[in-house]
Amino acid sequence: MVKSSVLGYPRIGADREWKKALEAYWSGKLEESEFHRQLQEIRLNHLRKQQEKGIDFIAVNDFSYYDHILDTSTMFGIIPKRFPYEGGTVPLSVYYGIARGTKDATASEMTKWFNTNYHYIVPELGEASPVLTENRPLKAYREAKEKLGIEGKPVIVGPLTFLKLSKGYCISDTDDWLGRLLPLYVQMLQELAREGVQWVQIDEPILVTKLSAEDVQRLKTIYETFAASVPNLNIMLQTYFESVENYSDIVALPVNGIGLDFVHGLSGNLSSIKALGFPVDKVLGAGVIDGRGIWKAPLREKLVLVEELAEIVTAERLIVQTSCSLLHVPVSVNHETKLGAELKDALAFADEKLDEIVLLAKAVSRGTAAIASELEKRDLALQAIKLSGERNRSDIQHAVFAISAQSPVRSRPFSERHIAQQKKWQLPIFPTTTIGSFPQSSEVRKARQQWRKGEWNNEQYANFIREQIDIWIKLQEEIGLDVLVHGEFERTDMVEFFGEKLAGFAFTQNGWVQSYGSRCVKPPIIFGDVAFKEVMTVEETKYAQTRTKRPVKGMLTGPITIMNWSFVREDISREQIAYQLAYALRQEVEALEQAGIGMIQVDEPAVREGLPLKEDDQAKYLSWAVNAFRMATCTVQDTTQIHTHMCYCEFHDMIHSIEAMDADVISIETSRSHGELIHSFELNTYKLGIGLGVYDIHSPRIPRVEEMTSMIERALRVLDPKLFWINPDCGLKTRGVEETVDSLRNMVEATQNARAKH
């Protein structure tokens, strides 16, 4: 019988009860003991569910009080010095202090987990002397066994991945650090072995990235050490999110199983295994059910794949599993009551994926007849969505095909547009602007609630929005900004707002996934052909423009960002989806221009995070991403100024792509990585308009004029003053009104000083 395995299950609970418990505890509404009790209940429920479905290898220790990387660093006693800690089990106050900051100490940095939208807390190795403060995997194993009789498979973040994701040490100290951590891992594994644990899953997703020769050597040291120290414990070395680099080195490691992703790394992993075979002394964890996507698996195709693999490794040594932890998908489709039947029938969230794993294992063991009725049901569901009207809009497909055949270029190059735009707009040197949103005060949120509940009619709500626009246009003029915005008061979320107005999108009621800590997001689903239906932003923008003589920038979310922050259909390429979005947005850009809006910002903060993990795939992605942006923006007149905006710091390696977007002006977040970004501009001359954020909007602190002045001066050492804009790092919607106004006043003062000087 082929075995089934799950690499991890969502923590948040079907009703986000995990989030609610965390937040209640933080706010002091929940006693610590009751908090532990509630979290245990959630955790056991998740295990019970997997047990009832018949999963053979159930992950334990995948659950967390916040984040599994933070669990790992605190388990090893790696506590930044700024938090009071005296050894022993790390108290919750310290654990959450590191995650969220305290009044005396800033939180640790948080960053994206590979190419997902999950964020982990970056370990700060610093001067810590690591010790094993508690054996969390062992605790989780015992709990599952005692309470539910489950023979759990503890999940552990592997040493190489942990080290590579940590900061606060010199590369030259890597081996020192490995030397300090390895004995702790060994101690932990020995305790597990003594307890009678049969399998552990050691996650090493870092193995899908390029490894140096030193890292390959480290990998050998690590797993040889484990093999020697815990010879009776079965180790499943687990990778995911892409195919592994260094296949031959990895399969030669002295472990008992290798877990590979046959969804996101299908072609690479499959060709390696076919060309180089698979060692007879190991088990293959075949990740064939997508742990990240939300669609039902085409089980017939998956079966063919599994059988192909079984021929190479034999069925006895094959485990059918999810491609990665199910952390990245919502809990269950069952809770959705408002989705159309066609769409709902085509979806599989975490719970439905458990069924898929079990079905697949059953079919491999006993033949397809064993699951015949399931297969038929699935065929029908997948056929229905394939043939649905929403997926087959030939009008859209033809139009997108036609425009993607043309090269999306503005009618004149930037150098000429720039002259025409200067003539038209007569902006001062170092024009000032903001990124789009202004504070979403409780008043704004309340108004939206009232309108959504039907207590306010459309007219009342529209009036309220207009009042807000009035207030902020006046304020912006008073502060002395040059290019104004309407403030985005009508929007909750920059993707949802557009998704609700475009065809091809669906919204779940409960499709939440963890983004970081207790923060969950509910991405829209792009399930059909995306199409423009009616103007989306013209009314508010046009209204704002009637209230001032200064230019008001229109504000749109770009095609790549909308796509990267949604779950998307898989029957067409991401490139095609991006082009459909671009075509829809182009119509909005044109409508704004028609309505007299002469500056239009198309935000693309999420371009960077869509970057494929494999370097070889990156250029292609960037090329079509740039194309999509240009498609959306290229048809305007020379004098219409296209702006874009990006945040989240890391673009030093993609400046050429940013330049290729050919936006007349880009605003970039820089204040948190100023040195680094400026450095990359030293190496590359950027020839278009650019505003480097001069203050961090993530903090309520009001930046002083001098701080911004020094930011400006540093930037001007490498950027052309004639192309330089001054703006905050990002939108201001999460800030308070007063701090926003004061900060912007200081920004304008810093600008005036700079103007006097240059």
Residues in contact with ligand GLN by CB under 6 A are 435-437, 488, 494, 555, 603, 605, 645, 647, 730-731, 733
Tell me which of 563, 647, 711, 744 binds Zn ion, using CB under 5 A: 647
The answer to whether the CB of 145 falls within 8 A of the CB of 139 is: no
Rounded to a whole number, what is the distance in angstroms from the first to the last CA of the chain?
76
Measured between alpha carbons, how far is 113 from 69 in angstroms, rounded to an integer?
10
- Nearest residue (CB) to Zn ion, 258 versus 607: 607
Measured between alpha carbons, how far is 521 from 512 in angstroms, rounded to an integer?
5
Measured between alpha carbons, how far is 732 from 489 in angstroms, rounded to an integer?
11
- The answer on whether 565 is annotated among ligand-binding residues is yes
Q: What are phi and psi of 573, to 5 degrees?
A: -75, 160
- Written as six digits, the tokens of 250 are 């990895």
Q: Which residue has the tokens 């989705």?
A: 339
- The answer on whether 436 is annotated among ligand-binding residues is yes
Of 36, 335, 652, 698, which residue is the catalytic one?
698
With CB under 5 to 8 Å by kind, the binding choice for 696 among Zn ion, ligand GLN, none is none
Beta strands, E only, 543-619: 553-557, 567-568, 599-603
Q: Which helix (H) or strand (E) holds 320?
A: strand 318-322
- Nearest residue (CB) to Zn ion, 647 versus 666: 647
- Nearest residue (CB) to ligand GLN, 120 versus 498: 498
With CB under 5 to 8 Å by kind, the binding choice for 251 among Zn ion, ligand GLN, none is none
With CB under 5 to 8 Å by kind, the binding choice for 336 among ligand GLN, Zn ion, none is none
Minimum distance, C-beta of residue 668 to ligand GLN, in the bound complex (Å): 10
- The answer on whether 112 is annotated among ligand-binding residues is yes
- The answer on whether 682 is annotated among ligand-binding residues is no
Minimum distance, C-beta of residue 606 to ligand GLN, in the bound complex (Å): 8
Minimum distance, C-beta of residue 438 to ligand GLN, in the bound complex (Å): 8
Measured between alpha carbons, how far is 397 from 503 in angstroms, rounded to an integer?
13
Spatial neighbors of 323 by CB under 8 A, at least 6 apart, are 240, 261, 262, 263, 264, 287, 288, 289, 290, 291, 292
- The answer on whether 16 is annotated among ligand-binding residues is yes
With CB under 5 to 8 Å by kind, the binding choice for 124 among ligand GLN, Zn ion, none is none
Measured between alpha carbons, how far is 587 from 533 in angstroms, rounded to an integer?
10
Spatial neighbors of 263 by CB under 8 A, at least 6 apart, are 287, 288, 289, 290, 291, 292, 293, 323
* Residue closest to ligand GLN when measured from CB atoms: 731
Q: What are phi and psi of 120, to 5 degrees?
A: -110, 165
Judge whether 698 counts as a catalytic residue: yes
- The answer on whether 429 is annotated among ligand-binding residues is no
Q: Where are the alpha helices (DSSP H) in 332-413?
A: 341-345, 350-366, 372-387, 394-405
- Nearest residue (CB) to ligand GLN, 90 versus 663: 663
Minimum distance, C-beta of residue 118 to ligand GLN, in the bound complex (Å): 18
Minimum distance, C-beta of residue 736 to ligand GLN, in the bound complex (Å): 15
Measured between alpha carbons, how far is 187 from 721 in angstroms, rounded to an integer?
59
With CB under 5 to 8 Å by kind, the binding choice for 494 among Zn ion, ligand GLN, none is ligand GLN
- Written as six digits, the tokens of 706 are 């001098």
CA 350 to chain centre: 18
Minimum distance, C-beta of residue 538 to ligand GLN, in the bound complex (Å): 16
- Nearest residue (CB) to Zn ion, 597 versus 730: 730
Measured between alpha carbons, how far is 666 from 683 in angstroms, rounded to an integer?
18
Q: Largest Cα–Cα distance of the chain, in whole Å?
A: 81
With CB under 5 to 8 Å by kind, the binding choice for 346 among ligand GLN, Zn ion, none is none
Q: What are phi and psi of 604, to 5 degrees?
A: -135, 55
- The answer on whether 435 is annotated among ligand-binding residues is yes
Minimum distance, C-beta of residue 313 to ligand GLN, in the bound complex (Å): 45
Q: Which residue has the tokens 């108004």?
A: 447
- The answer on whether 645 is annotated among ligand-binding residues is yes
- The answer on whether 386 is annotated among ligand-binding residues is no
Measured between alpha carbons, how far is 244 from 223 in angstroms, rounded to an integer?
17
Minimum distance, C-beta of residue 731 to Zn ion, in the bound complex (Å): 6
| Residues in region 570-609 near Zn ion by CB under 5 A | 605
Measured between alpha carbons, how far is 664 from 602 in angstroms, rounded to an integer?
11
- The answer on whether 730 is annotated among ligand-binding residues is yes
- Nearest residue (CB) to ligand GLN, 493 versus 713: 493
Q: Which residue has the tokens 């305790």?
A: 191
With CB under 5 to 8 Å by kind, the binding choice for 437 among ligand GLN, Zn ion, none is ligand GLN
With CB under 5 to 8 Å by kind, the binding choice for 128 among ligand GLN, Zn ion, none is none
- Nearest residue (CB) to Zn ion, 269 versus 727: 727
Task: Confirm or reject binding of residue 730 to Zn ion (CB under 5 A).
Answer: yes
The annotation places the binding site for L-methionine at: 435-437, 488, 603
Task: Return the active site residues.
Answer: 698
The annotation places the binding site for 5-methyltetrahydropteroyltri-L-glutamate at: 16-19, 112, 519-520, 565, 609
Name the site residues for Zn ion (rule: CB under 5 A).
605, 647, 730
The annotation places the binding site at: 16-19, 112, 435-437, 488, 519-520, 565, 603, 609, 645, 647, 669, 730
